[in-house]
Amino acid sequence: MIKKQWIKLSIIVLFISYGIQIIWQKSHEVSEIPIIGYHHIVEDKDKELYYKQNMWVNSLSSFEEQMKLLHDKGYHSVTLDDVYEWRMGRKKLDDKSIVITFDDGFYSSIKYAQPVLEKYGFEGSVFVIGSQIAKNRVKYKPNIRQHASLEDMENVPCMKFYSHSYDLHHKKGGFKVNLLNEEQLIKDTKKEASYVSIKYYAYPYGKYNDLIQKVLKNEGTKLAFGFNENRKAKITDNPYALPRFNVNAYTKLDVFYQMICQ
């Protein structure tokens, strides 16, 4: 008799626990997530010496401070594959989900950002300019914004590499994406695909138009990202115009936290 009561009680507790878990998951599911974007990251001494006035170059200490904050506040990174599945309605993301990205394919993303990401259990995505990929692996020089080689990008833990166009990262005379015709954009995209995956794509300078969106869709790109919109990406957003937060050298820690919590 006591055994039967114990079994019945255990079943009731199990159902209650399951119900609480479902309620918790539902209450934490979100329809928008923060996607943050960085560029170049250097040691503090090099920031002071070479890049003091450059807003696009973040110090290593500030980057680690931001990652530590995310970790301590219970955030976990999600991959671009996760974002795609979420956008398609096949995956749920919670209110502690965050996407971490790096533009241009600088070697510093591997040398400095990757160890910090690994330390805190995060993953990141790097958007690479194909025409700027270094031909060979060379010794790191802190005084130049050095791009990674394909060899550098091989088997990097907790980091994936995607497209930032092959050679659209120019704005002399206007943003290059707006100066090319469809055939030229297709050629650029196909050439980029011979170096890195174009499954996910970040527009140079965050600039895009209907034509490049059409080209990317036809070439098989699943998601494309802007920059500096400084709002969370909504599940209802155009998958070829997802917004990102601009995290630069002037982004103080309290502003950073307000940004992702907005």
Provide the pLDDT for residue 9.
54
Determine the Cα–Cα distance for residues 106 and 111; give it in Å rounded to an integer.
Answer: 9
DSSP state of 42: E
Provide the pLDDT for residue 83.
98
HEC assignment per residue over 142-194: CCCCCECECCCCCCCCCEEEEECCCCCCCCCCCCHHHCCCHHHHHHHHHHHHC
Q: Where are the domains of the chain?
A: 33-261
Provide the pLDDT for residue 181.
98
Determine the Cα–Cα distance for residues 223 and 211; give it in Å rounded to an integer.
Answer: 15
- Which residues does residue 242 pair with via DSSP β-bridges, in sequence order? 225
Provide the pLDDT for residue 8.
62
Nearest to 202 by CA among 110, 102, 132: 102
Per-block average pLDDT, block size 10, for the chain (262 residues)?
A: 58 42 50 98 98 98 98 98 97 98 98 98 98 92 96 96 98 97 98 98 98 98 98 98 98 97 85
pTM for the model:
0.89
In the CATH scheme, what architecture does the domain 33-261 have?
Alpha-Beta Barrel (3.20)
The number of angstroms, rounded, from the C-alpha of 47 to the middle of its chain's C-alpha atoms is 23
Provide the pLDDT for residue 14.
45
What does the angle CA 36 – CA 42 – CA 45 come to, to the nearest 5 degrees? 135
Contact present, 37 and 245 (Cβ < 8 Å): yes
